[in-house]
Each structure stands twice: as structure tokens, then as C-alpha cells.
Structure 1
Amino acid sequence: MELRHLRYFAALAEQLSFTVAAQKVHVTQSTLSHQIRQLEEELGCRLFEREGRRVTMTEAGELFLERVRNALREVDEGVSTVRFAAEEMSGVVRIGATHTFNLHIIPRCVSLFLDRHPSVRVDVLEMTGDGIAQALLRGDLDIGVTYKPNDALPLRFEPLYTEEMMLAVGLRHPFAKRRFVRMSELHLQRMVLLPRSFSTRVLLDESFRMANAAPVVVAEMNAIAPMIELVRATDIATIVSTHALRREDVKMIPLESPTPVRSPGLLWRRDEARTPAARAFASIVRSVSDSESRDTRRGTARAPRH
């Protein structure tokens, strides 16, 4: 199977006419028909039904089409990126990031990106995951760096890694010296959490339900920094990402039974070509996120429990 087979298939699927599709890909009708037949023979199934001049797609063809379109889009964007690589990029790349990423990962990414592409301006907005999704759909952002929003169907979510969420408590909290805490032990514990409109809160509520735990939510805040400050100064606890906190006056404790886990990632608009600058920034995000994830796993490694 060669790339031309996929392009011919996509053209015929779009036009449902051998004559029009052949014109679009600049080959003769007989050549197109022969190439499609080769593709069907290699796949071992029919992709199109032919009744005279009428062409319709089979169920197998419909299933194959979605994958082919994604593959061709990736190839075309890759070619575009390579062609632009030798040229100096310019313009603006617009990034939407949640607070956790904006604390450490995004600043590192911006620094690396500007070193490599000094002629590109980087605009970063700190937003909620759902806010990022809406901004992408409106065309106000090029990339989202976030956790998977509640409704990501119109968008494409590319996971970067998987992270555990941890209990955060002040140094005088009864749990401060614990090596781990079970979710069931948070029953009736005073906590500050994100509002229910956040996908992370939905995840935590499900984890509480599985552990038959009902914490006393004394406060809800839509930003991590004030939550952590409240935890530092009181006996109130919270649950945050391991990337959200790097300070000595708050203790991070692993959670078990169950361990809340979430996957941060890149959020894109579907079926839309990405600019070379956006693709270059995304590549840096992948690299930095991978490095951060490895460092976090080493830093939070736990001794065996007996």
C-alpha cells in the first residue's frame, strides 16, 4: 500500500465519481480504477460498490475513510512542517493552558520555543479546561494544554502522560506524617475542592463514591494557588496534581483505594491544518511534559508498604 492509493481512495470517497475523482488527482479514469482495485485486493474487502456509473461506499469503506483522512492530514502537516523548518517562522501562536501547566511546564516551553523561533510571539492564556475547549472551537486558540474536558467530542485530545493526584495538607495536619492515605479515610474530612464544573472535580467525586467517603467540602475555589494557601494555614486538606505544588510548607501524600488518576494532554481542533509554529510548540510541550513526568515519578517514588 502506497500513499497514492490513500489519496486516490480519499478523492473517490469525496466525489463518488471515478470521472471527477480522476480529474481531481490528475490521473486517467482507468488508472484510478486500477489503483482502487489494487487497494481493495490488498485489504481483502470492497471499499466501493459500483452499479453502472453510480458509486457508493461500503461499510468497510466508511470505516477506512476516517483513518485515511487522519493519516493524510498528518502527512500533509508533516510535509508542511519540514518545508518551513529551514525558514524563520513568524506570526503568533496562541496557547490556552490550565493553572497546573502554567505554573511550571508552559514557562519552560515558552523559553525553549523563543530560543528556537525568536520571530514568533507566544500568547498564553490561563483558562479552565472547558474554557480552553470553547476558545478552540471559536478559533481563538491554536493549542490547548489541559486535562480532557467534560465534552471533547468536537475536538481531538492527545494524551501526554498519566499522573496521580495527591492529598495536600499543612504541616500540622493529622495526616502530615503519613506515607499514604486511603480515600475512605477522607470521610468527613474538611476539604477545599475545585467547583463541580471542573472535570477534575467530577473525577474526585467519583473516587469518593467508590471509596464510600463523603468529605465535608467547606470551600470551593476555581484556582489552585488560593486552595494551597488555605491548606497551608489551616487543618483543611485538598487534592491536587503532583505538578501543582513545589513548596516546603505543604505536604503531598499519595492516595490509595482508589488512586485518582488523570491524563493531561494537548487539545486541538479536528480537521484543521495546524500552523508550523503551533506544531513546533506542541513538540516542545511533549518533550518537556515527558521530562517533568519522569522527574515527578522519581521524586514521588514510595518505599514498599508492609
Structure 2
Amino acid sequence: MELRHLRYFLALAERLNFTQAAAQVHVTQSTLSHQINRLEEELGQRLFDRGARHVALTAAGELFLPQAAKALAEIDIGIAMIGASDKAFTGALSLGTTMTLNMGLVPRCLAIFSQAHPSMRLTVEENTADGLIADMRAGRLDLILAYKPFDLEGLLFEPLYSEELVVAVNERHPFAARKRLRMVELHGRDLTLPARKYTTRVQIDEALRAAGAKPQIVVETSSIAGMLALVQQAPMATIVSRSALADHLGLLAIPLEGPTLQRTPGLIWLEGHSRTPTMASFAAVVRRVAKTLAEG
């Protein structure tokens, strides 16, 4: 099946007139008729009922029409994106992300993208996954870079890599010499954790309950940087992604087991919404940076 067959089919389905459809796709009426016949032979189904004075879609044609239209629309978007991939974009791009990803992955992606497209105005909204998704549904965000949400209804999630959650302590903490920790060993220990509104906190709480551990949650915060600064100074621990510790000297990362904890960051799109060349270009940058992080 060739692209032109889909274009010819859609033109005839729209016009239901061979003369008008042929003019629309700039071929002769006989060429259009011949190519429609070839498409029907390939599919093994008649798509049109042809009468002396009328043309109508068959049941098979009615079923094929929305799928053909959707496929051709996606292809046309891809062609437009390829054509625009080497051009400098102008305008605005609004990105939603979480506080952890905004400490490493997002700034690297923004730096690369803004250097390639200096006329673009980039805005970044930091929030919980639920808040970001609500903003995207309301049209305030173009795309989201966040951890996989629990509810994916009406969304497409494109995973990028998996990252490990670890216990972080300072060099004076009783756990400092440990190579690994079982989750249950956090029972009764002083912890600082992300606020309960974050999906990561929900994941941590579920893992603690599963292990039968009830730590003392001394401080809850919406700032990863503040949480890590507190651990640097106080005899308490926290649970964060290993990548979040990169710029915090003096903190030690201790792997967890029983259970281990992992998160999956990815791109979140609205299902059924078209992606502009700008969005596609930024997503390509994200994939490239994420691949280096996963390999490193």
C-alpha cells in the first residue's frame, strides 16, 4: 500500500464523486479509478459501491476511513517535522516538570534546545504530576517531563529510563558505613521526605508499609534541595534518586533492598493531540540527553 492510495481513498470518500476527487488530487479520473481498484484488491474488500449516478462507501470503507485519515494525518505531521528539524524555531514552548527532574535532566535539555533555537521563549512549570497534567489538559502546557503517573487515562507515557531511589545520609550518620540497607531497617529512624502530594512520596510510603517499617517523619518538604541540605546538617536520612545527590558533597547514597525502589521518568502527552515540530524537536533533545544519563 502506498501513501498515494490513502490520499486517493480519502479524496473519493470526501467527495463521493470521481471527477471531483480526481481534480482534488491532480490525477485523471481513469488513474484515480485504477488506483482505487488496486487498493481494494490489496485489502481484499470493496471500499466503494459504484453506481451509474452515485458513489457510496461500503461497510468496509466506513470502517477503513477513520483509520486511514488518522494514519495519513500522523504521516503528514511527521513530514512537516522532518522539514522543520533543521530550522531555527521561534515562538514559545511551555514545559511542565517535577522538582527532581528540574535539578538535572531538564536544565541540560533546555540548554541544548535554547542554543539551537535562540529565538524560542521557553517556560518551565514545576509542580506535582497531577497538577502538571491538569495544566496540560487546560492547554497551559505543551508537554510534560515527569515520573510515570498512576492514572494514565487519556495520556500517552513515553518512558526514558529507570532510576534507583537510595537512602541519603551524611558522613556522621549511623548508616554511613553501610553498603546496603533493608527497608525495614528504617523503622523508627528519623527521616525527611517529600510532601505527600508527590507520587514519589506515595511510592515510598507504600514500600515502607510493605516492609513493616514505621519511621519518624520529622520533616516533610516540597524542596529536594532543602531536604538534602537538612540531611547534610542533621542526623536524619532521606530517600531520593541517586541523580539528585550529584551536587551535594558529603552525602552518601546507600542502595535499598526488600524492596528496591525505582522510578521511571518519561514524556507525557495528551492522547490524540497532534505534536508540533517544536514539541517534537524538544522531545528529541530529551531522548538524546536521557540516553546519555541511562548509559552513564
Task: Flag whether TM exceeds 0.5 (same fold).
Answer: yes
Aligned equivalents of 1:209, 1:129: Cα separation in 2: 23
Question: RMSD over aligned Cα, in angstroms?
Answer: 3.3
- Structure 1 residue 153: deviation in Å? 1.5
Shift of 1:56: 4.5
Do the aligned partners of residues 276 and 29 (structure 1) sit closer, same or farther apart at CA in structure 2, a change above 3 Å counting?
same
Q: Please tell me whether the aligned partners of residues 168 and 238 of structure 2 are also in contact (alpha carbons under 8 angstroms).
A: yes
Shift of 1:167: 0.8
CA drift of 1:149 comes to: 2.2
Aligned to 1:300: none
2:16 aligned to which of 15, 19, 26 = 19
Query: How far, CA to CA, are the matches of 1:73 and 1:169 in structure 2?
Result: 52
| Inter-partner Cα distance in structure 2 for 1:144 and 1:97 | 6
The alpha-carbon deviation at position 283 of structure 1 amounts to: 0.8
> 1:37, CA displacement in angstroms?
4.9
SS at match of 1:196: coil
Identify the residue that residue 169 of structure 2 maps to in structure 1: 169
2:88 — aligned with what? 88
Matched, 1:189 2:186: no
What CA deviation, in whole Å up to 9, does each residue of 1:260-285 have, x standing for no partner? 11110011122222222221111111
Tell me the percent identity: 38
1:79-158 matched pairs, under 5 angstroms: 79-158=79-158
The answer to whether the 8 Å contact 1:169/1:231 transfers is yes
Which range is displaced more, 199-208 or 259-268? Answer: 199-208
1:132-173 CA distance string (max 9 Å, x none)? 111111111112111122323222111101111111112211
Q: Which residue of 2 aligns with 1:298?
A: none
Q: CA offsets, 1:274-303, max 9 Å, x none? A: 2222211111111111112222xxxxxxxx
Tell whether 2:206 aligns with 1:202: no
Matched to 2:178, the amino acid is: R
Confirm or deny: 8 A CA contact 2:163 2:262 kept in the other structure: yes
Query: Residues 251 and 73 (structure 1 numbering): CA distance in 2 closer, same or farther, change over 3 Å?
Result: farther
What letter corresponds to residue 210 of structure 2 in structure 1?
Answer: M
Contact 1:18–1:29 (CA under 8 A) maintained in structure 2: no
Unaligned residue ranges in structure 1 (runs of 5+)? 296-306
Matched length = 281
User: Distance between the aligned counterparts of 2:252 and 2:186, measured in 1?
Assistant: 16
Residues in 2 aligned to 1:153 and 1:8: alpha-carbon distance in whole angstroms: 35
The answer to whether the 8 A contact 2:128-2:199 is kept is no
CA distance in structure 2 between the aligned counterparts of 1:214 and 1:65, rounded to whole angstroms: 54
Q: Kindly report which structure 2 residues correspond to 1:65-80, keeping only aligned pairs within 5 A, or say none.
A: 72=72, 74-80=74-80
Aligned amino acid, residue 267 of structure 1: I
- 1:284 counterpart SS class: helix
Asked if structure 2 preserves the Cα contact closer than 8 Å seen for 1:133 and 1:149, the reply is: no
Q: How does 1:45-56 map to 2 (within 5 A)?
A: 55-56=58-59
Q: Which residue of 2 aligns with 1:212?
A: 212
Look up the equivalent residue of 1:280 and give its one-letter code.
S
**Rg larger for:** 2
1:99 is paired with a residue of what secondary structure? coil
In structure 2, do the counterparts of structure 1 residues 98 and 54 end up closer, same or farther at CA, with 3 Å as the change threshold? Answer: same
- C-alpha spacing 1:79/1:177, structure 2 compared with 1 (3 Å): same
Shift of 1:36: 4.3
TM (norm. structure 1) is 0.78
Please give the per-residue CA displacement for 1:201-226, whole angstroms capped at 9, x wherever unaligned. Answer: 22222222332222222232122112
Aligned twin of 1:299: none
In the superposition, relative to structure 1, how do residues 33 and 122 fare at CA in structure 2: closer, same or farther (>3 Å)?
same
CA positional deviation for 1:196: 2.8
Residue in structure 1 matched with residue 237 of structure 2 by the alignment:
237
Q: 1:175 to 1:18 in 2, by over 3 A?
A: farther
Q: Structure 1 residue 180 and structure 2 residue 177: aligned?
A: no
Residue identity in the other structure for 1:261: Q
Pairing of 1:261-280 with structure 2 (within 5 A): 261-280=262-281
Amino acid at match of 1:172: R
Q: Which amino acid aligns with 2:120?
A: V
Q: Is 1:222 matched with 2:222? A: yes
Q: Normalising by structure 2, report the TM-score.
A: 0.80
